[in-house]
Homo-oligomer: A and B are copies of this chain.
Amino acid sequence: MKNYSRVWLSLFCFSVILNLLLVTYLLIHEGNSTPISRFGNSNDHNELSWTRKSAKEAEIVAAISCSGHGRAYLDGLPATTNSLEGIDFPLPSCECNSCYHGSDCSQFSSDCPADADSGDPLFLEPFWIKHAESGTMTVPGWHRMSYQFMYPQKSTLYSRELERHIRELHAMVGNANTTGKFMIFGAGSTQLLNAAIYALSPQDPPPITKIVASIPFYQLYKNQTDFFNSKSFKWGGDTSMWKHRSQSPEFNSTTNFIEFVTSPNNPDGKLKDHVLLESPDVKTIYDHAYYWPHYTAIPAPAKEDLMIFTLSKLTGHAGTRFGWALIKDEDVYKRFLDYMILSSLGVSRDCQLRSLKLLKVVLRNGKEFFEFGQKTTMTRWEKLNKTVSASKRFSLQKLVPQYSTYFRNITAPSPAYAWVKCEREEDEDCYEALLRDGGIIGRAGSTFHAENRYVRLSLIKSQDDFNWLLQRMDALVSQEQVHEENGAEML
């Protein structure tokens, strides 16, 4: 009996210890998960209330598998079947990269052309997926309904926090000196480029302003100028026509000029400076969309009177439509503001919030971010170069390594675009006759007012797009070599 008692005692002790352990665990665990009341003020934020549903939704959509060749978005078209049960919203379907299809983007069409046309900067997407936590934002339904930011001294249409972060970013990267400059936001550089023309060309008195750029140039400059069809300005063509303008038969002393300088240049990635000589009747707009360490060495901070930058080519968020201008002259700044108010009442406050969120991540992870971007473009450029160097028909623009003040190092070229040239005299229409027939979609030289023996190929799209482009180029170059060998045999 004594033994029994001892056994019970031992078992009891064991059970009591187990109970104590379980209760302790429960107390600690529960202590961490007291729900905070809605809008309540609490220091314990592990539990969420009204944001939980949208957060869940975002995680569910992110978890949809598109085989690594596409992506499902919150506002995608509803898929025909729900792949997850118990969800009260229709799941969006995958949006596939070019040449991929099927409900999960797993099927590849090998007869599909490699699309290297647009400057869609998806090469930066992997960075944002890696930094999922810090790049995500939660926007309550009542966020900034007003037209205005209600700052204590003055209401504005623009986020001062965003402006402050942009200045900080330029200082960190060393690509622009913002001291003493006004800043204006726009819907990408697209809206700002047109605003700049309006801001720089006086409406009256009537002297017309000629808008000029150096071939090859980004076609938007001309297209916008033509479309807006203003009494104040008109397209003036290539800068070389006006370099010695006093000798030009069309010269008129009352003509003003606005020169667009794109640096690095789109399409050829070269750093550029103005062509027209400085004079009171010449104004210059510096389009610095690509003046970031992913695309070029940064020799020195830009400090021109009117500079335009865009989020699209910086963080890769082309869809957000956000850009900014740095402006020295106060009157020009005021006309810029007028344009923004009359054109769209400023930039979407939602898009300002998102830009701020993204720039905070870039500021916090600057080195990693720019190294990732630069490494990607550099590697792509190297690979394409290697392929093209085996060809006698095609060549690429010449770019040389340069010292980058950002990386404090000599950096190899890493342009956003390849500016392909067809070297043979008979290949006047390089794009139509060679690349397009070889299954490559590029942008013909004529789009940039250059000869059609040039074609721009984008190096900043998704990895799928680049891989397919490279394969197609490889095939074209191999074909050329086979032809040559055959030709040699025939001799």
Q: Which residues of A contact B (CB under 8 A)?
A: 1-2, 4-5, 8-9, 11-12, 15-16, 18-19, 22-23, 25-26, 29, 36, 38-43, 45, 48-60, 62-63, 65, 70-71, 73-78, 83-86, 95-97, 101, 118, 120-122, 124-125, 128-129, 131-152, 159-162, 186-188, 190-191, 194, 198, 203, 220, 223-224, 227-232, 312, 316-322, 338-339, 342-354, 356-358, 361
CA distance in complex: A147, B319 (Å): 5
Whether B147 contacts A318 by the Cβ 8 Å rule is: yes
Which of A75, A161, A318: most chain B CB closer than 10 A? A75
Q: Give the residues in chain B near A50, CB-CB below 8 Å.
A: 59, 132-133, 136
CA distance in complex: A491, B188 (Å): 69
Q: Give the residues in chain B near A16, CB-CB below 8 Å.
A: 15
Question: Out of B77, B146, B187, B348, which one reaches A122, CB within 8 Å?
Answer: B146
Whether B139 contacts A354 by the Cβ 8 Å rule is: yes
Q: Give the residues in chain B near A96, CB-CB below 8 Å.
A: 150, 152
> Sorted from nearest, which 5 A-B pairs have the closest CB atoms?
A135-B141, A8-B8, A319-B349, A15-B15, A51-B55
CA distance in complex: A345, B51 (Å): 32
Q: Which residue of B lies closest to A317 (CB)?
A: B145
Whether B139 contacts A139 by the Cβ 8 Å rule is: yes
Q: Which residue of B lies closest to A23 (CB)?
A: B22
Whether B345 contacts A348 by the Cβ 8 Å rule is: no
Whether A191 contacts B139 by the Cβ 8 Å rule is: no
Question: Out of B1, B52, B62, B232, which one reaches A55, CB within 8 Å?
Answer: B52
Q: Give the residues in chain B near A95, CB-CB below 8 Å.
A: 149-151
CA distance in complex: A9, B8 (Å): 6
Whether B15 contacts A316 by the Cβ 8 Å rule is: no
Whether A343 contacts B343 by the Cβ 8 Å rule is: yes
- Do A344 and B321 contact each other (CB < 8 Å), given the known contacts A43-B85, A59-B48, A147-B118? yes
CA distance in complex: A344, B118 (Å): 16
11 contacts between A and B (CB under 8 A): A15-B16, A41-B84, A45-B60, A48-B56, A70-B150, A128-B145, A136-B141, A227-B342, A228-B230, A230-B231, A321-B346
Whether A350 contacts B351 by the Cβ 8 Å rule is: yes
Q: Give the residues in chain B near A84, CB-CB below 8 Å.
A: 41, 43
Whether A344 contacts B342 by the Cβ 8 Å rule is: no
CA distance in complex: A1, B311 (Å): 84
Q: Give the residues in chain B near A230, CB-CB below 8 Å.
A: 228-231
A183 → chain B closest CB, angstroms? 15
Whether A356 contacts B75 by the Cβ 8 Å rule is: yes
Q: Give the residues in chain B near A48, CB-CB below 8 Å.
A: 48, 52, 55-56, 59
Q: Give the residues in chain B near A1, CB-CB below 8 Å.
A: 1-2, 5
Q: Give the residues in chain B near A349, CB-CB below 8 Å.
A: 319-321
Whether B26 contacts A361 by the Cβ 8 Å rule is: no
Whether A342 contacts B224 by the Cβ 8 Å rule is: yes
Which of A122, A145, A223: most chain B CB closer than 10 A? A145
Q: Give the residues in chain B near A319, CB-CB below 8 Å.
A: 143-148, 348-350
Whether A125 contacts B139 by the Cβ 8 Å rule is: no
Q: Which residue of B lies closest to A316 (CB)?
A: B145
Q: Which residue of B lies closest to A358 (CB)?
A: B141
Q: Give the residues in chain B near A75, CB-CB below 8 Å.
A: 144, 159, 161-162, 352-353, 356
Whether A54 contacts B137 by the Cβ 8 Å rule is: yes
Q: Give the residues in chain B near A187, CB-CB below 8 Å.
A: 187, 343-345, 347-348
CA distance in complex: A486, B105 (Å): 84
Whether B161 contacts A141 by the Cβ 8 Å rule is: no
Q: Which residue of B lies closest to A164 (CB)?
A: B77
Q: Give the residues in chain B near A128, CB-CB below 8 Å.
A: 140-142, 145
CA distance in complex: A356, B356 (Å): 22
CA distance in complex: A344, B128 (Å): 24
Q: Which residue of B lies closest to A352 (CB)?
A: B75
A256 → chain B closest CB, angstroms? 15
CA distance in complex: A232, B133 (Å): 50
